[in-house]
Amino acid sequence: MRTLLDKHIFLWFISGDTQLSTDVRDAIRDPDNEVYSHFN
């Protein structure tokens, strides 16, 4: 699956913020997924 992270999701993920659900964190960590970020 291809996943595009916005700034908030990226920052919450790298800081370990609990606002992200377990499903979202698992999807980002899954090595079978392609994770991209786009920052303006």
Q: Write down the pLDDT at residue 37.
A: 87
pLDDT in tens, 1-40: 999 999 999 999 999 999 999 999 999 999 999 999 887 5
CA distances from 19 to 12, 13, 14, 23, 29 (A): 7, 9, 12, 12, 16
Q: What is the pTM of this model?
A: 0.80
Alpha helices in 1-40 (DSSP H): 7-15, 22-29
